[in-house]
Amino acid sequence: MKRRNHVNPTRPRGCRDDAQTRGGEDDFRSISALPIKNLVDILSRLPFKTIFNCMCVCKKWKDLILDPEFAKLHHTRAPASLILRSRRHGRRCGPRSLCLLDLEASDICSPDAAVKFSPDFGFPTGNFEIVNTCNGLICIRHFHSPNDISITILNPLVGDSITLPLTKKKHRSYVSSWFGHSPETDEYKVIQFVQQPSRLMEAEIHTLGKGTWTSIHGGTLPPPVDLRCHDAFVDGCLPWIVNDPSISEFIYCLEIGRELFQPVPAPPHLGPDDKNRAEDMVLGVLAGRLYFFEYPLGDHFDIWVMKQYGVQDSWTKEFILRNPSTDLIWYRDLYRPLSLLRNGEILMSHKSKAMVSYNPEDRSFRFLKIYGIQNFEANPYVPSFLSPRNIVNGDNTSSSNIQSR
């Protein structure tokens, strides 16, 4: 978008007010004279759209903002958001679009809350899906053929992406993929879960920066085939519901730092007789904590929150969602919690590829019309200026840079 220069009508066109120019230059010099530590602290607290403008001020500021240490600091202060990807439908299918929605905006349905990326923001064409997001990076699984799948890690804010080398093993049955970060080892890893003919579970792991795929085995533990588990990454672990009556535990996780499979304590109200309803149970993350709920047969469902990860006694029944109408049947996947809004409402995705908010006080549901995008899929996202190319360090990945801004 072109800027309009506001000119003084008493002066010839093209001339600038000397006093105004000197004032702006003096302000810039004053800010730039701050110690680097203070300047970084100030920049990291700004909205990301303002940070974009700051990148255009001078090379010094641009280099500060693109520094990996700035990205880490800014990410801890960035607002909770969603990445919305439009879905193609009908005969006249336009290109998919990508939108970032600021959940801390005063009105998430206003134009100011949504940032739409240009069509060339770097997503591959063809058949692909967004696997999940982690620290501002988006993981994409691209299907070239049933047994030919590639993984791309993208940050549309900085316009950088990397594509991982394909695994050497052929004819694999990949049931799901995942991308995450280990706070213990400070490593980013991509995991592809494999279903073997013998029903033995295997996970192929690619550690970014090391350049090779390795395998770990989970024995008879069934892999997480339900992609809803990808939003449930917490404390360096990926938990999922175990839908197998022969295994007594309800929840298992992959601890990606040590690459170990571990059981996770389930909410205390679950017993052996509940195993036959495992496919109606869902895990996710709300406000950084693991949540659990199961689709109801009655007029409500309860959301349990694990206040301290790994401690069973910390499970707390945090929310009770009531059905607003006796004529409305709540079937599986109708609603799915995404985030908590500033006004106390629960933001949820809807089966119709829309979003609704639930007010626990008056038990009301409200469909939300997001500005500039319709019929979409939503993924939790926190903006970041981290470039995926900064974490591969010479890895044998292919990289690219696109100007999404």
Render pLDDT for 348-376 as a digit per residue (tens, 0 to 9). Answer: 887 766 788 888 888 888 888 887 777 78
What confidence tens digit (pLDDT) does each residue in 123-135 have?
556 667 788 899 9
Q: Are 328 and 320 in contact (CB under 8 A)?
A: no
Residues 172, 289, single domain; the answer is yes
Residues 46, 185, single domain; the answer is no
Residues 6-35: what's their mean pLDDT?
51
Residue 49, classed as helix, strand or coil, is helix
Q: What is the pLDDT of residue 311?
A: 93
Residues 212, 73, single domain; the answer is no
Residue 332 CB contacts under 8 Å (≥ 6 apart), including other chains? 279, 280, 295
Q: Which of 306, 300, 344, 340 is nearest to 324 (CA)?
A: 300
Q: What is the pLDDT of residue 110?
A: 85
For the cut 70, the answer to whether the pLDDT of residue 201 exceeds it is yes
Residues 250, 288, single domain; the answer is yes
Q: What is the pLDDT of residue 49?
A: 82
Instruction: Indicate the range of 81-95, 107-121, 183-197 predicted with least confidence.
Output: 81-95
DSSP state of 56: T
For the cut 80, the answer to whether the pLDDT of residue 187 exceeds it is yes
Residues 16-28: what's their mean pLDDT?
50
- Where residue 342 falls among pLDDT bands split at 50, 70, 90? confident
Check residues 329 and 174 and name the one with the higher pLDDT: 174
Q: What DSSP assignment string belongs to 125-173? A: SSEEEEEEEETTEEEEEEEEETTEEEEEEEETTTTEEEEPPPPS--S--
Q: Which of 112, 98, 86, 79 is nearest to 339 (CA)?
A: 79
Report if residue 139 sits inside a domain: yes
CA–CA separation, 54 and 46 (whole Å): 10
Residues 158-181: what's their mean pLDDT?
77
Q: Which of 71, 86, 76, 161 is nearest to 117 (CA)?
A: 86
Residues 317-322: what's their mean pLDDT?
86
CA-based R_g, the chain, Å: 24
Residues 376-395: what's their mean pLDDT?
83
Residue 60, classed as helix, strand or coil, is helix
Q: What is the pLDDT of residue 393?
A: 65
Residues 199-214: what's their mean pLDDT?
83
For the cut 60, the answer to whether the pLDDT of residue 88 exceeds it is no
| CATH code assigned at 269 | 2.120.10.80
> Which residue type, as a one-letter code, is found at position 368?
L
Residues 113-130: what's their mean pLDDT?
68
> Which residue type, as a one-letter code, is found at position 401?
N
Backbone angles phi, psi at 26, to 5 degrees: -65, -40
Report if residue 7 sits inside a domain: no
pTM of the full structure: 0.82
Residues 67, 98, single domain; the answer is no
Residues 297, 388, single domain; the answer is yes
Instruction: Provide the residue range defining the domain that includes 62.
Output: 33-78
Q: What is the pLDDT of residue 316?
A: 94
Residues 62, 99, single domain; the answer is no
Backbone angles phi, psi at 55, to 5 degrees: -65, -20
Q: Which of 237, 238, 220 is nearest to 228 (CA)?
A: 238
Q: Are 304 and 321 in contact (CB under 8 A)?
A: no
Report if residue 6 sits inside a domain: no
